[in-house]
Amino acid sequence: MSKSIVITVSSSGIGKATAKYFAEQGWKVAATMRKPENETELTVVENVTLYQLDVTDQASIDAAAAAILADFGTVDVVLNNAGYGLAGPFEAATPEQIKRQFDTNVFGLMEVTRAFLPHFRANKAGLFLNVSSIGGRVTFPFISLYHSTKWAVEGFSESLAYALG
């Protein structure tokens, strides 16, 4: 039986490269993205199935998790890859920008985790891989919002590892 992985934001960068890599290794890949109808490259990769998922939309998360579990039967790994960096002086950021940064980088990751956690607990198996960055360990000027989200991801991930370990 082949292993399966869910990857958030597989439309570019690390997510797309990871989807291709796992598919080449024979894994079943649930490649998620906000607009799967725009994806062309992954549609021709064997073992990859595209799913609509926006980490800032709870209904989207719930629908994607349900569809993936129905299609795959079991999920072995969830790679929380969604995220972006907002740069500039803090005082120039609008409340909407701050909310979007945290909704994408932190709360979306938490809600995707929450969506698959019951499945992992029921199976007594599963692995969450949460993509962070060096920005979750050290800081640089004018990236305070990005850094604060990545520090949150680091803290959440470390604590969750103890709780699930």
**150, 157, 159, 162: which is the annotated catalytic residue?**
150
**10, 132, 148, 157: which is the annotated catalytic residue?**
132
The b/e string for 66-100 (b: 16+ C-beta within 10 A; e otherwise) is ebbbeebeebbbbbbbbbeebeeeeeebeeeeeeb
Residue 20 is a catalytic residue: no
CA 120 to chain CA centroid, nearest Å: 16
**4, 146, 148, 157: which is the annotated catalytic residue?**
146
Residue 148 is a catalytic residue: no
- In 3D, which of 66, 57, 53, 70 has the Cα closest to residue 11? 53
φ, ψ of residue 66 in degrees (nearest 5): -65, -45
Residue 150 is a catalytic residue: yes
* Catalytic sites, residue numbers: 132, 146, 150
